Each structure stands twice: as structure tokens, then as C-alpha cells.
Amino acid sequence: MKILQLIYEAPESPFGFGGAGVRAYEIYRRLSDRHDITLLSMKFPGAHDGDVDGIRRVFVGTESESLIRSVFSYVRKAVTYVRRHGDSFDVIVENFLPSTPFFSRFLTKTPVLLQVQGIMEGHSLRKFNPLVSLPMFAVEWLYPKVHDRFIFVSEVTKRKVLGRAGDNVESCAVIPNGINDELLGTSGKGDGYILFMSRIDVYTKGLDLLAKAFEETGRAYPDSRLVLAGYQFDAFDGLVSKLSPAVRDRVSYAGFVTGEEKLRLLSGAEVFVLPSRHESSPISILEAAACGKPVLVSDIPELAFVAEEGFGLSFRSGSVPDLAEKLDLLLRDESLRLRLGRQGKSYARNFSWDAIALRFEDALRDAAASAR
């Protein structure tokens, strides 16, 4: 098959590389030996077209350091690309973001699958300026209705989106995120620190809650540390500036980590925490579970599987006291940590990227066959 995916992220981009990008590269490098794959991504300063791991990368837009200008230019030029070249592909995957509606379904005769990682719902109105948030909210609500083929990353998001999509859904697959099998071989022995690994996004990821909860629990555990890793959407220094000096010195930023450095951080963690106010389907939770780490998350529907599957605890979303209480429980109860960690490894074994890639390939093949 000739496959085109529209996804703004790329590993080298200064604008960040999150779960959607990791998913695309992990899946497609496993399919590149038998398919012709093109990723159409947002241009950034220094971006160059070319092949990586058998995947053809094409960057469109402008080499601007402004995210807003880059996004607008990317959408405009990606639309032109699909209009000109879309019919030469067998299937197109459009990664859905409210800020990048391409309307690719109307630009080509090729079947288009809308891949939905997650949705923000009303959180966009609370997070962004109304000039930005109102259009994003409207696009998120209305845009799926113009599509009839979907790939969802979680059942929760599927239920939310298809409740708005109407009766014209032709195909729908739920294909979760995955892990690299090497993570399953790591030891569950921790090195005394609490780990957060995701985008440094204070509102979305609940980092303000985590900082306050760590300040509360830190008094009882003077040797404990908090390590944050991920792309800086918000400044790390701004997050920790309000903490007391004694606690602030025990909070560190490891940067955006990959490969061996990511494995080292996960291996050394005592507890993995993701206190998000809203989420999609975080790869980092599966990675932490694969490394035998107990996971602590907010009790939003997208993360309910952590407690349901028995490899972590949940706290009341938005509650610093409850987050601090659950964090304290995990830090003082080693037997609980070990039990949750063992269950996490068992759960994560079901999510190998190798198997996920085959399911993704089947969904694309079915979509391509429907147009013949």
C-alpha cells in the first residue's frame, strides 16, 4: 500500500514530539519493509525532507519560530499537497487536532481515516484565550461529523466522539498505543525518586497539583526527589518558583528524553505519577507499567484502566490533598509498590508495538480495499 499520514509532529521539532508522533514512528517503521509510507509534517527551522527508517518524510509550511504561524502555514500547504497528490495514495490517515482541520476527505478520492488520540472537551475553554479556544472547541465538536472512517486509541474517546458523529460511520477501529519489548526486561528496583514523564504542560498534566502535593509529602520523606521529564510547553522554572527553597532543590528537570536515558529514568523511579486534568491514552503509563513501576493517576475516565487493571492508584482529579495522601501511601508501603509493579508488567505485555502495528496495518488495508 501507499500510505500517507498527516501528522504535524517530528522527533527533531522544537515545537515538541508527543504520543501521536511516537505512535506514528513506532508503527510505521515496523511496516516500512512492505509498504510505501509518507509522513506529511509541519516544517520548522532546519527541517529537511528525506527517509528515516524507511519512512519518507515531507515537511510543508514555513520555517518560522512562531508556533501559531507555523500551524496556519502547515494546514494551508498540507491541504494543497493532499489536493495535488492525494489520489496517488491507497489510504490516508489524518491525525486529528482541533488546530489542524485539513478536510482531507473532501480533497481526494482516496479513503481517509481520521485517527483520534483524545479530545479536550471544555478544557480548551479553560486553558486558552477565547480567541483560540472557541474555534478549537467548535472544531473538536463538529469536525468528526464530516468523517465516516475512524481509528481511536481508546474506547473512552471512541464513545465520546461517536456520540457526536451521527449515523454515517462506515468503519471504526480501536487500536491502543504500545511499548517496546525491551522495557519488560527492566528491574522494578527503584532509586528513591518520583517520576513524571510527559509534556511539561502545567494545566493539562496537572503539574501544579503535583508540585503542591510533593511539597506536602516531602516533609515526611526528606530524601525523596521529584524528577520531571518531557518537552517544555510551559517553563519548568515557573512551575517550581513558588515552592519553598528546601523542596525546590529536590525537584529537577531531566529534559526531553529518549532511548537509553528514558530507560534509565524509568528504571530508577520509585513511583510514576501522571496527575492530568484531561488525557488521551498516554504511552508513558504503559512504559512505566512495563518497567514494574506503580502508577498514580487522576480519576478521569481516560485513566480509569490503571486502577481497574490493578497496577496503580487513582486520586480525585484536581484534589491536592487526595494526591498527597495516595503519594504518601505508595512511598511508605513497599509491598504495595511491588505488587502493583508486578501487575503492571503483566498488563503491559499485551501492548507490544509489533502486535499494534499489525492491527494498524489491517485497519488501513480494510480501508484501502473498500475503495476498490
Q: Domain 2-178+352-370 is in which class?
A: alpha beta
Which tens digit of pLDDT belongs to each residue from 67-86?
889 999 999 999 999 999 99
- In b/e form, how buried is each residue of 205-240, taking b as 16+ CB within 10 angstroms? bbbbbbbbbbbbbbeebeebbbbbbbbbbbebeebb
The percent helix, strand, coil of the chain (3-state, each to 5) is: 45, 20, 35
Decide if 303 contacts 273 (C-beta within 8 A): no
Alpha-carbon gap, residue 36 to 48, rounded angstroms: 19
User: In this predicted structure, what is the pLDDT of residue 247?
Assistant: 87
User: In this predicted structure, what is the pLDDT of residue 372?
Assistant: 61
User: In this predicted structure, what is the pLDDT of residue 188?
Assistant: 61
H helices then E strands: how many in the chain?
15, 14
Helix (H, G, I), strand (E, B) or coil at 54: coil
Q: Do domains 2-178+352-370 and 181-348 have the same CATH topology?
A: yes
Q: Can you give the residue ranges of every domain in the chain? A: 2-178+352-370, 181-348
CATH topology of domain 181-348: Rossmann fold (3.40.50)
Which tens digit of pLDDT belongs to each residue from 112-123?
999 999 888 878
Q: Which residues of the chain have pLDDT under 50?
A: none
User: In this predicted structure, what is the pLDDT of residue 166?
Assistant: 63
